[in-house]
Structure formats: structure tokens, C-alpha cells
Amino acid sequence: MHYRNGRDSLHVDDLAELVKEKGLDKRPAPKPTGVAAVLAQAIGALLLVLAFGSLSFAQALPDQVDEGEVRRLGNVVQHVGAGPRSDGSDEFMEAVAPPASDADKWFVSIVTSKSCPACNRLKADWQASPDLKAWAVPGDAKTSWAHYNEYNGGDRSQAFRFTGIKIEGYPTILVQPPRTGKFGDPKTVVCQITGYGNAAGLANRMSANVRAYTAKIRPIASRPLPGARAPALGPGGMVSGWRQPAPFNPNDLIPTPLMPSPLGPPPQVNPQPVAPDAPEPAQTDAIPATQELVVVMDDAGLDPSVHTRIRELADRWKKGTRVRYLDFATAKLRYPVKRDETPVVLATSDGRIEDKVSARLLPLLMPQLSISDLPWTSLLTLLGGGASLPVFVGIGIWAIGRVRAARQAAGQTVLPQQMYDELTKLLQNLSGAKASAEALKPMTLEVSEDPRLDRIEKALEGLASRLGPSPQDPPARS
Amino acid sequence: MKHALLALLLAVSCASSAFGQALQPALDLPDDIRAWFRNPDGSCVQCSIGMCGVDQNVPAAALLLWDSEYGKKVRGGSGPSRVSAYCDARAIRAFNVTGSNTWDWMRWACATGRGAAIGAGRMHFQTLVAHDPSTNTWYVCNNNSPTRIDRYDEKSFRQLHLASGQWVVILDYPPHPARPEYVRWW
């Protein structure tokens, strides 16, 4: 099948584009107004009538609906795929009645992405796993406990549905209460789970959330179902199969599929975050937030010094912050991390990523000032009453080096290395304090001896040059 | 005259706000998406079914009007047998209902959160968007003016539906969930 611009076929994702391209989303051009325009239209219409006067008036309306066939068919319900249901028997009206209402069913929706192995695994598991089929049976709405819908995250025709929530990764599993309002507002996100590990784990998490929700939300007396009017009697006095819903009995709780006994009392479960590694619907004041630093490691592992810095960062960030180490394979199922980012530290609050930083940058972000970093020679000379220009220049060079290191760590623009070297040389020459300045080598020079950090410094320089080179900047280096 | 116009405007705005707050529409699509299904060439049946297709996330139905991976575009007028044929060809599950029982089917569709393609007006098909049983008010989207929702009382709606012959098409798929929102329940 060929679409005129050369594409083999049209996918639903392209619908918006196609409609826009064909101008189907545009309103028709406004009709001309004014006496002259109306007169012109009237004359045109008259000419048309005269020209096609011989045509039958029956053709004046486009034959959009075959009304004759509708009348010929009479009372027929054809379930396409199941054959027509009409045999003229007494059971006929029963057969042609609408199915039982499924407005009491919960909603399970999954939002997936095309290029997501976990999404494909989830969809495959949902077809086979008894744990998940207890919740919803894809393709079999009648036996399914909940309405099951699969949405493609890239499908622009469905994007409007999810503007009220934050989709943080794929797959995302959403559980919502039934349309009837018996279990509260049907818009409510009872459970939002991002990522997929295994069927049993997912089923347990959904179950825990629905239990917590139903324990919290007392089912309200069912408001009259929209359309709850008793169906009209058919010929022969047969009542169609769809009946007015029975009055709601507060004790008649709809059990979740994994509840041990549908007849038992509703479980009294205090709502708690189900798992600290998955996003929950929203922040809460009632439940203290779980702060974690999640360290996603690469194959090379981390230097012991980085571990220390991570612990310090945890102490500084928020009270009670825990540190968790994950390998990349595990982390990628739960967080949107890429391999080339590792090792990386994710600062999370209740599973939501609030910040992230490369673990390799931590030593730069949190440089420690040790006793040995201080310009002892100059300080002792100064304290000994030897205040002179070389001493002050030595201390000044040390201070400039510290400021430069801090700005580099904060990602701010710094003086290019070549200019910085020239400046220090100039100061040394001016003061004649070359020897003491050599002894007081600035911290950045020590830092840049580390090959890994040298790479970072180059990247920062590249960033600085992209931000806009000053006229004094030296020519770009290869 | 001015007062009458003002009253009319007020009534219209009250009606639209009541629709927005009290009633959950069975077919929940924004204006811009409904506008994709403006009737291009007398394909009102396919336009109406297409809207339901997007609403219930059934691409094979949503793309009826265009060439797609599900089949050639379907344009022009239709009757129940043509609908049955192209639904079969595209493996679209649907209830294709004619006769006196269409009222129950339309109520069932709205009550369960499904839109319906319905006969509405002389030789015309439109999309049933909602039904308010408390006032017996029906809400319909005409594919000749898809960005607008028309409101009918019971009597007008009966006239509208009977004018085309009693025929409705309802997709046999789960309804869409309400647009999710974070509501503090814990």
C-alpha cells in the first residue's frame, strides 16, 4: 500500500501529520457575506438548477447512509466476527440486547514505547502470566477483571490523555477506579508504576496499592449509573438482557484479584510507598519521603575516594538520605540512565529523580581543603613579619587557583588554561617570586594531573568556548 | 432582542459547563482531534466510526478514512452490510445494530464509556458523545462541524435518530479510562 509521499503505509502515529498535511484540521473557508456575494451565489445556483434541471431531485442529497438497507434489515444485532444474531425466536430480543454493563470494572492501562525491551517483555508476560491475567486479559474484555488498554507513548492521537500526569519512563502501568464512581473519582491514579521486573512483582505491587486505596476510600453508595433507566420492553414482553444495576450494598466490596478471600473484611493496610525505587503518584505530607542516593556503577567500579564523597554528599543533601548501589543492568530497568553516563549518582526522593551527577565529577564538586593545600611557606613568612610583594603574590596565586577550581566544579565559565598560565607567570615575573609560586602550585594543576579529570576539564573548556569566546580567548586548540 | 440573546448565551454557557462538570462524556476527544474527522466527501459513517476508533484506541477503525497498514481507505456512503464487510476485513470487532432496540444500545454505550456511531439526520451518521439520564439529554458530534458538540432533548434526539433509520455501530473494545490525574487519596 502506498501513500502518495512514498511511505509504504500509514501508521496511527502519523495520523496527526497526515491530517495536517491534507488540511483536514482546518475549518472550511468562511462563506462570503454582503449583498453582492449573496446575489452572485443566487445567480450561480439558478444557473446550476437550469443546467442540471433534468437530474432527479433524489440525487440532491449525497447517499451517505443506505437507509433502505437499514429498514430492510429490521431488528438485527450483528456482532462482527461472531455472525448476525437474529432467528425470530422468543430468545431473539434477549439475544439482541446489549451486553451486561461493564462500567464497574477498574482500568489498567500500560503506556509503552516501541524501542523498549522491558515493554515488549511486559506485553508478552501479560498474555501468559496468571498473575497478570488475574488483573486483565488482553483481548478478552468479557472475562477480564479490569478494562485493559495499551497505549503507545509516541502516539500523538492519544497523548492528550496523559497530560495530567508525569510519565517518567516506559513501561508505565496505571491503575484507575471504575467509571461508576463507586470507588471515588475515576480520574484518580491509584497506582503508577514505572519499569517492569517480573509479573509476580508487578501484580503484588498493584494489589498492595489497590488494597491501600480501597482501605482508605470507603466505597460510596453507587450514584445512579448514567443510562440506568430500565430498558424498554421488546415485542412479546421480553426484557432485554441489560438490566438496571442493583442498588449498591456497602458490604459488597469488589475484591481485588489477589485478595485471599472475596468474602473476608477489607484489609486494613496503612498506605505506604510500595517500593522505594518506583515513582508514586505524588508527594505526600502524611508519609515521609524516602531520600536516596542511587549510585549506578559501571564495570570499572569506583575509587574508594569517590565512595567517601558519596557518603559526604548523602550527609549534606537531606536528613536520613540512604545510599544504594546498583549495577547498570538493574538500574536501567528502573531509571532512565544510559550506559555512557555511568558511573552516575541519582539523587531520588520517593523514587523520583531530583538531580543527578556523574560520580567522576564528585571530587571536583566537593574539593576538600586539606592542611597540605595551604601555602605554608608564604603564611609562615607573613606571620614572621616578612610581609613582602612575593609573599602576597604567592598567596594571591593560591587564592585564584582555588576560585578557579570551584568555578570549574560548578560548571561556570573559567579563564582558559593558557591565559591562566600566562597570568600566573606574569604575576610571578612582576613579583620576582617565581620560586615561591612554584612551591605553591595551585590546586587545579594538581587536579589536572589525573587523566580522568583532565578529560573533564577539556570538556568544560569546550563548554566555555561554546558559551561564547571572549576576544581575548586564544585560538581553539585541537 | 439584546436580552433574549444574552439569555441564550447564558443558557448555552450553563449547559456547556454542566456537561463539563457533572457528566463524564463517553467519547472523550479534544476538539483538534475530532476535527481530523471532518466529513470530506460523504463518508459520514466512516468519520463517525473513526472518532470512536481514536477514543477506544483502535487504530484499524481510527484510520478508516485513509490508506494505512490496516487496508485501503474507505470513502463514500455505507450501509450495515458495507460496514460489516470492512470491519471483517480489518478485524475490527463491532456491534452493528439495526432496528427498534438501538435506544438501549445507545444508552448502554454511553453508560459504559463508549462512543457510538449513530444514524442522525436524513441520510447522515454522527457520533454519540454522551447521554445524561437525569435530564434525558443527548450530546452528539456532527462530522460536518466536528469541533462542536450538539445538545438534544429526548424528543429532538428521537426525531434525529429516526430520520436516518435506526442503525448504530459500537466498537466492541474496552472504553478509555478517564484522563488520569493525581488525586491525594493517601
Contact B182 A164 (CB under 8 A): yes
The answer to whether residue A286 neighbours chain B at the CB level (below 8 Å) is yes
Residue A131 C-alpha, separation from nearest chain B C-alpha, in angstroms: 21
Q: Which residues pair with A12 in a beta bridge?
A: none
- Per residue in B67-114, pLDDT tens? 999 999 999 999 999 999 999 999 999 999 999 889 999 999 999 999
The answer to whether residue B24 neighbours chain A at the CB level (below 8 Å) is yes
**What pLDDT was estimated at residue A92?**
62
The answer to whether residue A44 neighbours chain B at the CB level (below 8 Å) is no
The domain ranges of chain B are 24-171
Residues 125-154 of B with CB under 8 A from A: 125, 130-134, 147
- The residue among A448, A353, A466, A379 whose CA lies nearest residue A409 is A448
Pick the CATH number of A291-363 from 3.30.200.20, 3.20.20.70, 3.40.30.10, 3.30.70.3270: 3.40.30.10
Q: Which CATH homologous superfamily contains domain B24-171?
A: Cysteine proteinases (3.90.70.10)
CATH topology for A106-216 is: Glutaredoxin (3.40.30)
The answer to whether residue B121 neighbours chain A at the CB level (below 8 Å) is no
Q: Tell me if B171 sits within 8 A of B49, measured CB to CB.
A: yes
Residue to mutate among B37, B65, B181, with most A CBs inside 10 A, is B181
- Per residue in A370-410, pLDDT tens? 555 566 666 666 666 666 777 777 777 777 877 777 676 65
CA-to-CA distance for A199 and A129, rounded, in angstroms?
7
Report the percentage of chain A scoring pLDDT > 70.
51
The answer to whether residue A27 neighbours chain B at the CB level (below 8 Å) is yes
Closest chain B residue to A69, measured at CA: B79
The domain ranges of chain A are 12-49, 106-216, 291-363, 371-467
Closest chain B residue to A238, measured at CA: B101
ipTM: 0.88
Residue A273 C-alpha, separation from nearest chain B C-alpha, in angstroms: 10
Q: Tell me if B114 sits within 8 A of B170, measured CB to CB.
A: yes
**Mean pLDDT score of chain A:** 67
Is the overall model pTM greater than 0.80, yes or no? no
**What pLDDT was estimated at residue A17?**
64
Contact B54 A157 (CB under 8 A): yes
